[in-house]
Structure 1
Amino acid sequence: MSGADSEYLAELFAGFGPVSVRRMFSGAGVFADGLMIALVVDGVIFLKADEETIPQFEGEGQSPFSYQRKGGRRTIMSYWRMPERLYDDPDELAVWARRSMAVAQRSGAKARRPKSILKKPALKKKSAAKKSARKPTRKRR
Protein backbone atom coordinates (compact mmCIF):
# COMPACT_ATOMS: atom_id res chain seq x y z
CA MET A 1 0.00 0.00 0.00
CA SER A 2 1.64 3.20 -1.15
CA GLY A 3 1.37 6.67 0.31
CA ALA A 4 -0.84 7.63 -2.63
CA ASP A 5 -3.21 4.78 -1.79
CA SER A 6 -3.38 5.93 1.83
CA GLU A 7 -4.12 9.48 0.70
CA TYR A 8 -6.84 8.20 -1.64
CA LEU A 9 -8.49 6.24 1.20
CA ALA A 10 -8.29 9.22 3.57
CA GLU A 11 -9.93 11.37 0.89
CA LEU A 12 -12.57 8.72 0.16
CA PHE A 13 -13.51 8.50 3.87
CA ALA A 14 -13.27 12.29 4.44
CA GLY A 15 -17.06 12.64 4.74
CA PHE A 16 -16.96 10.14 7.61
CA GLY A 17 -14.05 11.75 9.44
CA PRO A 18 -10.34 11.26 9.93
CA VAL A 19 -9.02 7.75 9.30
CA SER A 20 -5.59 6.19 9.37
CA VAL A 21 -4.39 3.42 7.09
CA ARG A 22 -2.06 0.68 8.31
CA ARG A 23 -0.42 -2.00 6.23
CA MET A 24 -1.47 -5.54 7.05
CA PHE A 25 -0.46 -8.88 5.57
CA SER A 26 -1.60 -8.59 1.94
CA GLY A 27 -3.53 -5.35 2.24
CA ALA A 28 -4.35 -2.57 4.66
CA GLY A 29 -6.70 -1.72 7.48
CA VAL A 30 -8.67 1.52 7.72
CA PHE A 31 -8.88 2.72 11.33
CA ALA A 32 -10.96 5.38 13.08
CA ASP A 33 -10.40 6.15 16.77
CA GLY A 34 -8.18 3.08 17.04
CA LEU A 35 -10.87 0.72 15.70
CA MET A 36 -10.60 -1.08 12.38
CA ILE A 37 -13.64 -0.26 10.27
CA ALA A 38 -12.49 -1.46 6.85
CA LEU A 39 -10.11 -3.86 5.16
CA VAL A 40 -8.50 -3.17 1.78
CA VAL A 41 -7.26 -6.13 -0.28
CA ASP A 42 -6.18 -5.88 -3.92
CA GLY A 43 -7.79 -2.44 -4.19
CA VAL A 44 -11.17 -3.67 -2.94
CA ILE A 45 -12.66 -2.16 0.23
CA PHE A 46 -14.49 -4.39 2.69
CA LEU A 47 -16.46 -2.75 5.53
CA LYS A 48 -16.88 -4.29 9.00
CA ALA A 49 -20.29 -5.92 9.40
CA ASP A 50 -22.30 -7.95 11.90
CA GLU A 51 -25.73 -9.57 12.13
CA GLU A 52 -27.39 -6.13 12.20
CA THR A 53 -25.70 -4.78 9.05
CA ILE A 54 -25.13 -7.92 6.94
CA PRO A 55 -28.67 -7.74 5.45
CA GLN A 56 -27.80 -4.33 3.97
CA PHE A 57 -24.74 -5.80 2.25
CA GLU A 58 -26.76 -8.79 1.04
CA GLY A 59 -29.42 -6.41 -0.30
CA GLU A 60 -26.70 -4.78 -2.39
CA GLY A 61 -25.54 -8.19 -3.68
CA GLN A 62 -22.24 -8.06 -1.78
CA SER A 63 -20.25 -10.91 -0.24
CA PRO A 64 -17.95 -11.31 2.77
CA PHE A 65 -14.16 -11.28 2.57
CA SER A 66 -12.73 -14.78 2.79
CA TYR A 67 -9.37 -16.42 2.33
CA GLN A 68 -8.01 -19.93 2.16
CA ARG A 69 -5.78 -21.15 4.97
CA LYS A 70 -2.77 -23.41 4.54
CA GLY A 71 -4.77 -26.55 5.26
CA GLY A 72 -7.22 -25.66 2.50
CA ARG A 73 -9.95 -24.53 4.86
CA ARG A 74 -11.74 -21.30 3.87
CA THR A 75 -12.09 -18.61 6.52
CA ILE A 76 -14.85 -16.00 6.27
CA MET A 77 -14.29 -12.72 8.08
CA SER A 78 -16.68 -10.05 9.35
CA TYR A 79 -15.81 -7.66 6.52
CA TRP A 80 -18.15 -7.34 3.53
CA ARG A 81 -17.39 -5.90 0.10
CA MET A 82 -18.32 -2.24 -0.14
CA PRO A 83 -20.95 -1.54 -2.83
CA GLU A 84 -19.37 -0.02 -5.97
CA ARG A 85 -21.75 2.95 -5.96
CA LEU A 86 -20.22 4.20 -2.68
CA TYR A 87 -16.90 4.98 -4.41
CA ASP A 88 -18.69 7.86 -6.18
CA ASP A 89 -20.99 8.92 -3.33
CA PRO A 90 -18.98 10.25 -0.35
CA ASP A 91 -22.09 11.16 1.66
CA GLU A 92 -23.53 7.65 1.40
CA LEU A 93 -20.09 6.15 2.07
CA ALA A 94 -19.97 8.19 5.30
CA VAL A 95 -23.28 6.60 6.37
CA TRP A 96 -21.93 3.09 5.71
CA ALA A 97 -18.62 3.93 7.45
CA ARG A 98 -20.53 5.10 10.54
CA ARG A 99 -22.37 1.76 10.57
CA SER A 100 -19.03 -0.05 10.36
CA MET A 101 -17.73 2.06 13.23
CA ALA A 102 -20.78 1.10 15.30
CA VAL A 103 -20.13 -2.58 14.48
CA ALA A 104 -16.50 -2.23 15.61
CA GLN A 105 -17.65 -0.60 18.86
CA ARG A 106 -20.27 -3.29 19.49
CA SER A 107 -17.83 -6.09 18.85
CA GLY A 108 -15.51 -4.70 21.48
CA ALA A 109 -12.72 -4.44 18.96
CA LYS A 110 -9.88 -2.52 20.51
CA ALA A 111 -6.66 -1.16 19.17
CA ARG A 112 -3.82 -3.60 19.65
CA ARG A 113 -1.83 -3.11 22.78
CA PRO A 114 1.91 -3.70 22.84
CA LYS A 115 2.75 -7.29 23.71
CA SER A 116 4.59 -6.23 26.84
CA ILE A 117 1.32 -5.01 28.32
CA LEU A 118 -0.45 -8.24 27.46
CA LYS A 119 2.06 -10.46 29.23
CA LYS A 120 1.41 -11.04 32.88
CA PRO A 121 4.44 -11.37 35.12
CA ALA A 122 5.16 -14.90 36.20
CA LEU A 123 4.13 -15.59 39.75
CA LYS A 124 6.82 -16.95 42.01
CA LYS A 125 5.85 -20.14 43.70
CA LYS A 126 6.35 -20.19 47.40
CA SER A 127 8.34 -23.16 48.46
CA ALA A 128 6.90 -25.14 51.29
CA ALA A 129 8.61 -24.19 54.51
CA LYS A 130 10.47 -27.07 56.04
CA LYS A 131 9.20 -27.90 59.43
CA SER A 132 12.05 -29.01 61.57
CA ALA A 133 11.58 -30.39 65.01
CA ARG A 134 12.96 -27.91 67.44
CA LYS A 135 14.76 -29.24 70.38
CA PRO A 136 13.88 -27.63 73.63
CA THR A 137 16.70 -25.44 74.86
CA ARG A 138 18.21 -26.15 78.26
CA LYS A 139 19.35 -23.59 80.63
CA ARG A 140 23.02 -23.82 81.36
CA ARG A 141 24.23 -23.80 84.86
Structure 2
Amino acid sequence: MTVHLALGHAAEIADSLGTMGKIEVKKFFGGAGLVLGGVYFGFIMKGTLYLRTDSETRPRFEALALAPFSYATRAGRITVASYYEAPAEARDDAQMLLVWARQAYAAALRTRRPAVARARRSKPAVA
Protein backbone atom coordinates (compact mmCIF):
# COMPACT_ATOMS: atom_id res chain seq x y z
CA MET A 1 0.00 0.00 0.00
CA THR A 2 1.42 3.38 -0.97
CA VAL A 3 1.43 6.40 1.29
CA HIS A 4 -1.25 7.92 -0.94
CA LEU A 5 -3.54 4.92 -0.43
CA ALA A 6 -2.79 4.88 3.31
CA LEU A 7 -3.75 8.56 3.55
CA GLY A 8 -7.02 7.84 1.75
CA HIS A 9 -7.80 4.88 4.00
CA ALA A 10 -6.96 6.93 7.10
CA ALA A 11 -9.24 9.75 5.87
CA GLU A 12 -12.13 7.27 5.60
CA ILE A 13 -11.47 6.07 9.14
CA ALA A 14 -11.21 9.66 10.41
CA ASP A 15 -14.58 10.45 8.83
CA SER A 16 -16.19 7.43 10.48
CA LEU A 17 -14.79 8.57 13.86
CA GLY A 18 -16.19 12.09 13.49
CA THR A 19 -17.99 12.00 16.84
CA MET A 20 -14.59 11.97 18.58
CA GLY A 21 -13.78 15.40 17.19
CA LYS A 22 -11.68 16.79 14.34
CA ILE A 23 -9.29 13.98 13.50
CA GLU A 24 -6.36 14.98 11.33
CA VAL A 25 -4.65 12.59 8.94
CA LYS A 26 -0.90 13.10 8.66
CA LYS A 27 1.92 11.32 6.89
CA PHE A 28 3.45 8.88 9.34
CA PHE A 29 6.69 7.28 8.14
CA GLY A 30 5.53 5.04 5.25
CA GLY A 31 1.85 5.32 6.17
CA ALA A 32 -0.74 7.67 7.60
CA GLY A 33 -1.35 8.74 11.20
CA LEU A 34 -4.61 9.55 12.99
CA VAL A 35 -4.26 12.61 15.22
CA LEU A 36 -6.77 14.16 17.61
CA GLY A 37 -5.87 17.32 19.48
CA GLY A 38 -2.23 16.96 18.50
CA VAL A 39 -2.08 13.39 19.87
CA TYR A 40 -1.38 10.39 17.62
CA PHE A 41 -3.66 7.50 18.58
CA GLY A 42 -3.45 5.29 15.51
CA PHE A 43 -1.93 4.80 12.09
CA ILE A 44 -2.28 2.83 8.87
CA MET A 45 0.80 0.95 7.70
CA LYS A 46 0.78 -1.49 4.77
CA GLY A 47 -3.01 -1.65 4.85
CA THR A 48 -3.28 -2.42 8.57
CA LEU A 49 -4.81 -0.14 11.20
CA TYR A 50 -2.77 0.02 14.40
CA LEU A 51 -4.10 1.61 17.60
CA ARG A 52 -2.24 3.05 20.60
CA THR A 53 -2.07 0.87 23.69
CA ASP A 54 -0.77 1.16 27.21
CA SER A 55 -0.57 -1.17 30.21
CA GLU A 56 -4.32 -0.76 30.77
CA THR A 57 -5.50 -1.53 27.22
CA ARG A 58 -2.78 -3.86 25.87
CA PRO A 59 -4.29 -6.98 27.55
CA ARG A 60 -7.47 -6.50 25.48
CA PHE A 61 -5.44 -6.68 22.28
CA GLU A 62 -3.41 -9.63 23.52
CA ALA A 63 -6.57 -11.53 24.57
CA LEU A 64 -7.71 -11.37 20.95
CA ALA A 65 -4.27 -12.56 19.74
CA LEU A 66 -3.72 -9.28 17.87
CA ALA A 67 -0.16 -8.49 16.82
CA PRO A 68 1.89 -5.47 17.87
CA PHE A 69 3.34 -3.27 15.16
CA SER A 70 6.74 -4.51 14.02
CA TYR A 71 9.18 -3.81 11.25
CA ALA A 72 12.37 -5.32 9.91
CA THR A 73 15.80 -3.74 10.09
CA ARG A 74 19.21 -5.04 9.07
CA ALA A 75 19.80 -6.03 12.68
CA GLY A 76 16.50 -7.92 12.98
CA ARG A 77 12.83 -7.33 13.71
CA ILE A 78 11.76 -4.44 15.95
CA THR A 79 8.45 -4.75 17.82
CA VAL A 80 6.63 -1.62 19.00
CA ALA A 81 4.40 -2.75 21.87
CA SER A 82 2.66 0.61 22.13
CA TYR A 83 0.66 0.01 18.92
CA TYR A 84 -1.37 -3.12 18.13
CA GLU A 85 -3.42 -4.01 15.09
CA ALA A 86 -7.12 -3.21 15.39
CA PRO A 87 -9.54 -6.13 15.58
CA ALA A 88 -11.02 -7.14 12.22
CA GLU A 89 -14.53 -6.78 13.65
CA ALA A 90 -13.80 -3.15 14.54
CA ARG A 91 -12.63 -2.40 11.02
CA ASP A 92 -15.97 -3.65 9.69
CA ASP A 93 -18.25 -2.09 12.34
CA ALA A 94 -18.20 1.71 12.75
CA GLN A 95 -19.59 1.63 16.31
CA MET A 96 -17.06 -0.97 17.43
CA LEU A 97 -14.25 0.98 15.75
CA LEU A 98 -15.35 4.07 17.67
CA VAL A 99 -15.07 2.16 20.98
CA TRP A 100 -11.56 0.90 20.15
CA ALA A 101 -10.44 4.30 18.84
CA ARG A 102 -11.64 6.06 22.01
CA GLN A 103 -9.67 3.55 24.10
CA ALA A 104 -6.61 4.15 21.90
CA TYR A 105 -6.94 7.91 22.29
CA ALA A 106 -7.30 7.55 26.08
CA ALA A 107 -4.16 5.36 26.13
CA ALA A 108 -2.31 7.96 24.07
CA LEU A 109 -3.31 10.69 26.53
CA ARG A 110 -2.23 8.61 29.54
CA THR A 111 1.18 7.91 28.04
CA ARG A 112 1.80 11.32 26.51
CA ARG A 113 5.01 12.96 27.57
CA PRO A 114 4.84 16.57 28.65
CA ALA A 115 5.98 18.99 25.97
CA VAL A 116 9.49 20.23 26.49
CA ALA A 117 9.75 23.98 26.24
CA ARG A 118 12.38 25.00 23.76
CA ALA A 119 14.74 27.72 24.80
CA ARG A 120 14.37 30.76 22.61
CA ARG A 121 17.47 32.04 21.04
CA SER A 122 17.86 35.72 21.41
CA LYS A 123 18.66 37.56 18.25
CA PRO A 124 22.09 39.12 18.13
CA ALA A 125 22.08 42.80 18.84
CA VAL A 126 22.50 44.91 15.75
CA ALA A 127 24.88 47.80 16.22
Q: Where does structure 2 lack aligned partners over 5 or more consecutive residues?
A: 123-127
Counterpart pick for 2:105 among 70, 88, 101:
101
Name the counterpart of 2:45.
41
Which of 4, 7, 12 does residue 16 from structure 2 map onto? Answer: 12
CA RMSD after TM alignment: 2.5
% identity of equivalent residues: 31
Determine the structure 2 residue equivalent to 1:67: 71
Alpha-carbon distance between aligned partners in 2 of 1:97 and 1:39, rounded to the nearest angstrom: 11
Label 1:104 to 1:28 Cα distance change in 2 as closer, same or farther (>3 A).
same
Who is 2:125 aligned against?
Answer: none
Alpha-carbon distance in 2 for matches of 1:4, 1:67: 22
Deviation at 1:37? 0.4
For the 8 Å contact 1:65–1:77, the answer to whether it is kept is yes
CA contact (8 A) 1:35 1:110 kept: no
Aligned residue for 1:137?
none
Q: Which runs of 5+ in 1 are unaligned?
A: 123-141
Please, what TM-score do these two structures have when normalized by structure 1? Answer: 0.71
Name whichever structure is richer in strand by fraction: 2
Q: 1:7 to 1:74 in 2, by over 3 A?
A: closer
Aligned residues: 118
* 8 Å Cα contact 2:54-2:107 kept in structure 1: yes
1:81 Cα deviation (Å)? 0.3
- Greater helix fraction, Structure 1 or Structure 2: 2
| Alignment partners' CA distance in 2, 1:14 and 1:75 | 30
The one-letter amino acid of 2:36's match is A
| AA matched with 1:118 | R
The CA distance in 1 between the partners of 2:88 and 2:98, in whole Å, is: 14
